[in-house]
A and B are shown apart, each in its own frame.
Chain A
Amino acid sequence: MKLDAIDTTILDMMKKDARISLREIARLLKVSPDTISNRVEKLQQQGIILSSTVVVDPTQIGYSFITRFGINVKPAYATQVLEKIIKIPSVIIASRVVGNYDLVAIGVVKNFQHLYTLRDIILEMPYVENVELGMWINTMEICPHYFLI
């Protein structure tokens, strides 16, 4: 889908504040509020806007660091394992990858005990062959423009 100037302005403004009133965007772009709400609906239907969320500071709710899990699985089972991994509490993003690993997951971790538990949960899943950890230091942010914490 080709995005025009109205679409990209909507995306930019909603990235900074998902609760912004559509009326306000309409006023800025000098178009009718209906146009904006139609566009937003379309952007959602087309899967360009996947969802909206509140951005919380993980350090304020008991999390201490982010860990990247590099996971190797038996070929052909990657998607199946991925679907299970994304359901683990604390995992905030996961994807199939091409490279050293078959899957990469990024999660927020409370402490080392919690980290062990997470690793074991993944290791015990059927078809998982290996889990490698990378603990991120002093970083509690994953690109504010695209997602998340």
Chain B
Amino acid sequence: MSDFKLDELDIKILRMLQGDARKPFQEIAEHCGVSTDTIKNRFNTMTKKGLIRGTTIVIDPKEVDQNLIVSIGIQVTNPYAEQVLALVKKITGMCVVTRSVGRYDIEAVAILKDIEQINTIKNTIGDFQQVKNVDIEIWVDKPLLCPKNFEFEETRQ
């Protein structure tokens, strides 16, 4: 963990940008009762320190031709998890692939076009020799995203 400490103003800025990344700095400045330059400086500092990685829009993947989000749980014969992880990472459509502790040894989230592709992926993974079992969860409806749920208070000491 870094030793970078957030103060109240930083947190206010982050909170406002979490809900709307395009909010003009001027508006944030007015709300916080400081100058626009102050906000700009704080934003740039937090970006330079790596606390802010960037800003992005949240797109509904279902609207852009990619209809299905699935989570994948994989059970692997020890000690081949790293090997399988490397192979799974190469499959197209994967957006997270990670080692995991719990029921599965590897978990992944993928965004796919159709049911057929799910089947292909399940077979591809199942075909790796060291894989014992593959479970797939298909996400239905719109996933609810809540980037606002980070709590920043923790670093204020």
Taking Cβ atoms with an 8 Å cutoff, the residues of A that contact B are: 1, 3, 11, 14-19, 46-63, 66, 68, 70, 79, 82-83, 86-101, 104, 106-108, 110, 132-139, 141-149
Contact = CB atoms under 8 A, between A and B. Distances in A.
Nearest to B154: A62
Interface in B88-112: 95-96, 98-104, 107, 109, 111
Contacts of A133: 102
Contacts of A144: 53-54, 56
Contacts of B155: 60-62
B57 A98 contact: no
Contact of B98 (A19, A55, A96, A139): A139
Given A57-B51, A61-B51, A110-B154, A134 B100 contact: yes
B55 interface: yes
A16 B137 contact: no
Nearest to A3: B64
Contacts of B20: 51-52
Q: Is the interface of A mostly helix, strand, loop or mixed?
A: mixed
Contacts of B96: 136, 139, 141-143
A105 B144 CA distance: 9
Contacts of B100: 68, 134-137
A18 B55 contact: yes
B132 interface: no
Contact of B22 (A16, A18, A91, A104): A18
Contacts of B152: 61
**Number of contact residues on B: which range applies?**
35 or more
Interface hub of A18, A51, A93, A110 (most chain B Cβ within 10 A): A51
B61 interface: yes
Given A95-B143, A98-B137, A147-B147, A57 B56 contact: no
A70 B119 CA distance: 21
B15 to A, nearest CB: 9
B141 interface: yes
Contacts of A86: 144, 146
A70 B130 CA distance: 24
18 contacts: A11-B64, A16-B54, A18-B56, A50-B58, A53-B17, A55-B55, A60-B2, A61-B152, A87-B146, A92-B149, A93-B145, A96-B141, A97-B71, A98-B138, A100-B73, A100-B135, A132-B103, A136-B96
A136 B85 CA distance: 13
